[in-house]
Amino acid sequence: MKNFTLQNSKKIKNHEAQITEIKGEASTLGQRKQLMIREQYEFVVADLVQQGMYPNVTAKGNSNWNNHKGFGGEAGSFGQAIASALSAKVTDARVKRLRERSTKLVAMYATDLQKLDASSPKAVIKAVKELFENKGLVNETKIGNHVDDQSGMKEIDALVRKVMKLSDADRITFERKLEEALKSKAEAEEAQRKAEAESVDVNDTIEALLDA
């Protein structure tokens, strides 16, 4: 067998060290990105509070802006303002998420938010930040899960009633499958978190280092 020696071994090791360093930087940048996205939600919620804009909440617990004509929906001034701030189309998914989730958050916590001194922007943003922290809304995924969980309370109650009607054997099977599903969900969320943390373009950074 012919022996093989990597003549460029030192260069490969050097590149590997740089790649490892870049991954660490990518993780830090990903975390900063998520923080900034969370703060965008905080700013929108704070703006709504400062301007006294609270959505209408239906008997079923859904929220809309029917009480403020021309404000809600894709064509409304609220969505248009967000789209302009993001330099995006009003139909962009990011615009829709920011508009709809901010609306739900203000509706969910209207009782507490209406107690704030809306004339003090600093006080409002501070209180909103504390609200996000207390509720564990550390990134966009957590925000989405939070508002969706609250919106689905009736579905959860209905599911509980169905489970209670199961036989003992079927209930054991249900609990096992639920445990498996929750484990898979946790693994998927962890994978998504890592993907978000490394969302910056590593290849461009590597090329920049190689060209330096």
Strands (E), the chain: 56-57, 63-64
Residue 1 has pLDDT above 60, yes or no: yes
Residue 110 has pLDDT above 90, yes or no: yes
Return d(Cα 101, Cα 30) in angstroms, integer.
Answer: 21
Q: Mean pLDDT, the chain, as a whole number? A: 85
| Residue 4 or residue 42, greater confidence | 42
| Residue 94 reports pLDDT greater than 70 | yes
* Residue 152: predicted pLDDT: 56
Q: What is the pLDDT of residues 116-157, one digit of tens each?
A: 999 999 999 999 999 999 999 999 999 999 988 665 555 666
The two tokens of residue 75 are 């064509």
- Cβ(22)–Cβ(206) below 8 Å: yes
- What angle separates helix 140-151 from helix 168-197, to the nearest 10 degrees? 150
Which run of H or of E encompasses 58? none
Distances (CA, A) of 67 to 73, 104, 116: 12, 15, 21
Q: List, in order, residues 6 or more apart from 205 with CB less than 8 Å away.
A: 22, 25, 26
pTM listed for this prediction:
0.65
| Per-residue pLDDT at 13 | 85
Contact 195, 16 (CB under 8 A): no
